[in-house]
Chain A
Amino acid sequence: MRVTQSLSQTQFLSALDSLESNLSQTQNQISSGVNFTTPSQDPIAAGAVNNYDQALSQSKQYTANGNSAQTSLQTEDTALSQLQSQLQSLRSLALEANSGTQTGEDLSAIAEQATQIQNSLLSLANTQDGNGQYIFSGFATQTQPFSLTATGATYAGDQGQNQVQIAPGQTLASGDNGDVVFNQIKTGNGTFTVTANAANAGSALLGATTVTGAGGYSGKTYSINFTAPNAYQVVDSLGNVVTSGAYTSGQTITFGGAQVTLTGTPATGDSFSVTPSGNQSLFTTVQNLVNAMQTGASSPTAVPGLNNAVATALNNIDQAISQTSTVQASVGGRLNTITTQQSVQTSQQTQLQQSISSLQSPDYASAITSLDSQNTTLSAAMQAYTLTQGLSLFKYIQ
């Protein structure tokens, strides 16, 4: 093969070009810490890094969502704790009112305190978060949810509940609406409720109520009628006598899966109605309690009525306390879930960062090795060129 000087020159130059460009690419990798700057240098890795980047950004957003939900839930938790303590105060007041030693003035004072508690409850129910949004109005966060009325309070919110995404496919509620917390509170013992007839003339008082029997409460409406101070009859809504018997104070009456204990002395014609539990607003419960105490304060003769009304209210307050506890437990559970998920997300972010850097960062050991070998090749090529270019027959022609 004939080799000409101009060809070897051209070929040396093009070899030099490619050697220098490789060297510069390796040098770039090492100095920038990035394996590739355009997708063509590693198309598969470039696509994969884009996917990992998205997953990382999403995971960070889940953490941010969790933080936001944490703030909302902590605000709610604080409100619920205060609600719980107000309800306990209210319960103490009710027990105090029912102790039987209160004068009319005392009752007035207690009623006054209960009214104040009602106002506190109202302000709790209308709690706003840091952004001025009502936390207990469902979706209608810009509408004040509760306003007092003569019989309780109206609810202007809705039954909406916002969800927050804290992990792929995992959402949790960032709050609870006021309807659930304040309105949907079961009356009585949660299954049925016993109410003394307002016209009762005797002093029979409602005691403990329980659900009994294998089938549970029948769900029907009953009336316990006293045919004499020492005899009772339970009739259903159709007027059929379900059961009857002799009455003594502390008598437990069992019918239709319900067990009702009554104490005191009824008058003939007194009655207690037994109905399935419905929902009653906490504010209605408080208003009824206040009304009963005010009535009791103005007419001392209505003491059995007061006692029965307070007993009903106590049942309802207990239901409210239990409802609040349930909601608070659920809030606590959600806060726990967020904390757990936050740490899952954090470790996931670390993993994703590692995956990205394993694709994106150069393997320094091999990069430096190839830098070295490229460097050697380049200097060898240069040396070889100068050596061969020095060879010329003309040098020897004198």
Chain B
Amino acid sequence: MSDVFGISISALQAYQTALAVTSNNIANANTPGYAKESIDLTAAVPQTDGSAPIGAGVQVASINRAFSQLAENQLNTSQSSLGQLNSLQNYTGQIDNIVGTSAGGLSTALQNYYNAWSTVANDPTSTAARQALLSQAQSVASAFASTNTQLQGLNSSVNQGIQQDVTQINSIGTSIAALNQQIVTATANAGGQPPNDLIDQRDQLVSNLSQLVGISTTTDSTGAVNVFIGNGQALVLNDKATALTTVGNQFNASQLEVASSANPTVSISSQVTGGDLGGLLASRTQAVDPAINQLGQIAIALNQSANAQQNAGLDLSGNLGANLFSVAGPQASASSNNSDSTTAAVSITNVGALTANNYLLSYQGGAYSLTNAATGSAVAFAGNGTAGNPITADGLSIVLSGTPANGDQFLIQPTAQAAGSFAVALTGTSQIAAAGAIQTSAGGTNTGSAAISSGTVVNAANPNLLNTATIQFLSPTTYSVNGAGSFAYTSGGNIAQNGWQVQISGVPATGDTFTVQSNAGGTGDNRNALASANLQTQGVLSNGTVSVNGAVSSLITGIGSQAQQINTAQTAQTAINSQAQQSVQSVSGVNLDEEAANLLQWQQAYQASAQALSIANGTFTFFMDSINGTYS
């Protein structure tokens, strides 16, 4: 009879525990990281006394977490990818908004600027038209400046984000290390029974960490989890956390990189992928910096084409035009790791070959190598870096101050500074060179029918450009220039001298003269203004095939495509992540209906056990009553 009592009581206790586990599941149905627990019941081992063994009741073997390491790892990987894409999407989305459909107002400003040149061409002496041109030029400069400022602002926000992420990663790393220690101790104290709630908490922290940075984990035999980032850089080893820290970029101290506190001067940014931190680093190198560079490339192209035309014309005072715009040149930064103080000077020699890339110039084993800083692919170059034989590549010319030390590196940024520094250099309306530099005239006593073209400037730098030159026909088929030489005449052929070029066509008579001279006083001339307005569609970049506006369109399409691509990837990754969450939840999540069924099941079992106890009691009482009756 005592067996029945014992068995019933073991059952009552077991089902109470089971009801508690179920209640706990219901209570934590919405707790993040909580893994559904289930009770593992086993039959108590019967005590045999030689006869047929009778069961000894039920006992709780363990309380288990419903958990799949595979599903959890998949979720963490997926969260890292999603975290990176979320962060990237944040930045590409902002760039998308900043650049917008008008390149931050640049495309409208450019249209107005070129139209202002046309207005000057229509009325070259009008101060109002010239003033309008200067104002429109200023608008172009403002559009460059404001877009560039906003893009630079994104880089500051990347820096802040990196610092916040590093702080948060360190805090989580410390908590994981502390939980590791508690779990190991608690497991030992509970005789090998795992402390489920602590493990839930730790796994939740690991999951949170995976949203911040891509990680890999291993679980050792004591139950502690080790967390690594990048290429096996340990963040948590058992109960020890190694903090991350930030370090200035070797070429640009204001740009923060990630380093490990174990080796705080060496950047490990290139190894960090995934999560918000990976996204921030990728945003900088893949989205923000390229946008700044492309904008700078456009600024340099506009600067070059506008200034070259301005230099080839005459202003209202009869002087050759001064530069309309100014822009900062390429920048070469020596690495802070360089072992000597060799410097590099970079200049642009051919805007048509210029790219929006940054380059890394390294000196190793007595030889230079030039690579694309973003992709690491080799860039073909010529020269040896001396003033007499500069290193030339992609329209750039690089001269080093001496022979660098072995291992020295220089970052070449041809266009990064351009958009921010783009400014209008002219101050006065009279400095606008609307007139052509030279004018041509036919002699008043010419009897032939030949006519001279108005002439074009081919080399504005020629010091004799504005000198007066006389072309005299020695015969209808030969001519001399300034009384010298005898050149064969072809109607319509080019005659070049002093940096200009003219064509004479028709039938000249012997003695006919034509004069090419400075156009000083020709204040009503609009040739240079006309040419400046026509630069709108003239190719400057990509070997003269892409106009300034074409480059703006490419920028808009490029920025838009990148944002679109990230949006698509983010949407896809969200779906993948939702599936990963689903598989984790399908294993570890709490289903309330299931728990309700369990409640009923445990309740019924509990009630049945209580009934068994009651029957045992009844049986015992009957037995006692029977005995009492017999002997009373």
Could you tell me which A residues sit within 8 Å of B by CB distance?
Answer: 1-7, 10-11, 14, 36-44, 46-51, 53-54, 57-58, 60-61, 64-65, 68-69, 131, 133-134, 137-143, 158-165, 168, 171, 174, 179, 183, 219, 276-279, 391-394, 397
Contacts and interface: CB of A to CB of B under 8 A. Distances in A.
A1 B525 contact: no
Contacts, number: 225
A60 B118 CA distance: 11
B97 interface: yes
A160 B536 contact: no
Contact of A160 (B522, B590, B596): B522
Contacts of B427: none
Contact of A40 (B564, B578, B581, B593): B564
A38 B101 contact: yes
Interface string B86-117: 00000011001101111100011011101100
B530 A140 contact: no
A160 B454 contact: yes
Given A68-B123, A131-B123, A131-B126, A162 B556 contact: no
B373 interface: no
B554 A47 contact: yes
B121 interface: yes
A4 B439 contact: no
22 contacts: A4-B585, A14-B574, A38-B101, A42-B560, A43-B557, A51-B553, A57-B115, A58-B111, A60-B115, A68-B123, A133-B524, A134-B524, A139-B524, A159-B441, A160-B439, A161-B454, A164-B530, A174-B122, A278-B445, A279-B444, A392-B596, A393-B596
B447 A397 contact: no
B597 interface: yes
A174 B118 CA distance: 13
The A interface, classified by DSSP as helix, strand, loop or mixed, is mixed
Contacts of A6: 29-30, 585, 589-590
Contacts of A131: 123, 125-126
A7 B446 contact: no
Nearest to A53: B107
A205 B102 CA distance: 77
Which of B101, B111, B442, B585 is most buried by chain A, counting CB atoms within 10 A of its CB? B101
A48 B563 CA distance: 17
B235 interface: no
Contacts of B103: 50
Given A3-B591, A68-B122, A164-B121, A36 B107 contact: no
Pairs of residues from A and B, 6 with the lowest C-beta to C-beta distance, nearest first: A39-B560, A141-B524, A139-B522, A43-B560, A4-B589, A47-B557
A43 B95 CA distance: 13
A162 B526 contact: yes
Given A51-B550, A57-B115, A159 B440 contact: yes
B111 A279 contact: no
Contacts of B564: 40-41, 43
B234 interface: no
B447 A276 contact: yes
B533 interface: yes
Nearest to A2: B586
A397 B107 contact: no
A39 B522 contact: no
Given A40-B564, A168-B537, A140 B522 contact: yes
Nearest to A49: B101
Contact of A50 (B102, B115, B454, B582): B102
B154 interface: no
A38 B563 contact: yes
Given A47-B553, A69-B122, A58 B439 contact: no
A65 to B, nearest CB: 6
Contact of A10 (B126, B581, B591): B581
B118 A39 contact: no
A62 to B, nearest CB: 8
Contact of A58 (B121, B523, B537, B567): B537
Contacts of B441: 158-159, 179
Contacts of A37: 100-101
A2 B388 CA distance: 75
Contact of A14 (B107, B114, B578): B578
Which of B115, B121, B586 is most buried by chain A, counting CB atoms within 10 A of its CB? B121
Contacts of A161: 454
B130 interface: no
Interface residues of B, number: 82
Interface in B483-534: 509, 519, 521-527, 530, 533-534
B122 A65 contact: yes
Nearest to A66: B122
A245 B589 CA distance: 131
A2 B108 CA distance: 57
A145 B356 CA distance: 52
Contact of A65 (B118, B521, B561): B118
Contacts of B558: 43
Nearest to A47: B557
A142 B441 CA distance: 19
B624 interface: no
Contacts of A134: 524
Contacts of A41: 560, 564
Contact of A142 (B112, B523, B596): B523
Nearest to B533: A165
Given A38-B100, A40-B567, A65-B122, 19 more contacts: A4-B29, A4-B585, A4-B586, A7-B582, A7-B589, A38-B93, A38-B96, A41-B564, A47-B554, A49-B101, A64-B119, A138-B439, A140-B521, A159-B439, A160-B454, A160-B519, A162-B527, A165-B121, A279-B446
Contacts of B534: 165
A175 to B, nearest CB: 9
Which of A3, A68, A158 is most buried by chain B, counting CB atoms within 10 A of its CB? A158
B72 to A, nearest CB: 15
Interface string B536-567: 11000000000001101110111111111001
B599 interface: yes
B538 to A, nearest CB: 12
A54 B99 CA distance: 17
A137 B524 contact: yes
A292 to B, nearest CB: 23
A1 B550 CA distance: 54
A39 B99 contact: yes
B608 to A, nearest CB: 18
Contacts of A68: 122-123
Contacts of A138: 439, 522, 524
A5 B600 contact: no
A257 B435 CA distance: 45
A69 B522 CA distance: 19
A6 B32 CA distance: 10
Interface string B588-623: 011111101101100000000000000000000000
Which of B121, B524, B567 is most buried by chain A, counting CB atoms within 10 A of its CB? B524
A54 B536 contact: yes
A50 B523 contact: no
Contacts of A69: 122
B596 A397 contact: yes
A50 B553 CA distance: 6
Nearest to A56: B111
Interface in B51-72: none
Nearest to B585: A7
A138 B524 CA distance: 7
A40 B560 contact: yes
A168 B547 CA distance: 15
Contacts of B96: 38-40
